[in-house]
Amino acid sequence: MTAAPAPVRTLEDRVRAQGYGLGFDLVGFTALGEMDTAAHFDAWLDRGFAGDMHYLPKWRGKRRDSRLPYAGVTSAIVVALNYGGTEPPGPVARYARGDDYHDVMDAKLRALQRWLGAELGREVHGRAYVDTGPLLERDLARRAGLGWFGKNTMLINPKLGSFFFLGALLVDVELASDKPFASDHCGTCTRCIDACPTHAIVEPRVLDATRCISYLTIEHRGEIPVELHDAMREMLYGCDVCQEVCPWNESFARELREPAFRARDVIAGRDARTLAREMLAMDEEAYRAAFRKSPMKRAKLDGLKRNARVVLGAM
């Protein structure tokens, strides 16, 4: 009896397999074009919810169409990489305890681009984006079938939860689009809205960043409003509360697999008071050594010391 021929693997199948081989947890495809949430994003900016993040309105025009940031591209390979939602809570948000996700994700996406070029026998023109350009990556991820927008504004995947980074590789290759994720699985649940310490989720899927602890401890350059000090409690850098209480994360968050995201020595095992005191004692040299390749450098030493003073005052 003659064996049945092996099924032909499409280019999309091969790209997806290579993405998984590089460590990504989700891989999807979508055609580039006008963004579904562009009007929503513009309205959010107009309400002043971006705060000090002046780079967001600066390129709002390019964010309306994913073909604009990089000329000549036609498709997006959208990926997700888990950063360990089952890790214990602590004074530093889970995503920021290890090496900078921008660098880790970018290296993997560039490797995928090189592999795709070798597979096609030509140079593949394109660019990797990891929260680094005028691109609504969450919008692309939904269109590529990776999940839906939760009421906490995070993209949620029914088998992974929301503790993952998003990245997109825009390429000049025609790839068949995956079916967009059309359903909403939040239902009547409002746990994230109810649990937010500063009431920053002002309505389902609308976040006032100027009240968000992640924004206040990372992006904000001024003093943190006194009325929000107590709400910070033990959160020195970032906040995971709206993800921690999500039923999808309670059920489907995964263990950390990427070694680069494991907590560095200066953070591992530290409680908020201990870490805050160590931050206040740091000089620039100690800070650079402790946080080399860390996303926490985004707040700079002055910002980390500000956060430390607030945490110690609120405890």
β-pairing, 155-156 vs 148-149, is antiparallel
Which stretches of the chain drop beneath a pLDDT of 70?
Answer: 1-8, 314-315
Q: Can you list the alpha helix ranges (DSSP code H) found in the chain?
A: 11-21, 38-46, 55-58, 60-63, 101-120, 137-143, 191-195, 213-218, 229-232, 241-244, 247-252, 272-281, 284-290, 300-314
Catalytic residues: 131
144-163 pLDDT, tens digit per residue, is 999 999 999 999 999 999 99
DSSP 3-state of 76: strand
* C-alpha of 97 from chain center: 14
Question: Quick one: tokens of 41?
Answer: 């994003």
Given this model, what pLDDT does residue 5 score?
Answer: 55
Given this model, what pLDDT does residue 233 score?
Answer: 84
Question: Domain limits of the chain?
Answer: 11-171, 191-251+260-314
Given this model, what pLDDT does residue 107 score?
Answer: 98
d(C-alpha 143, C-alpha 137), whole Å: 10
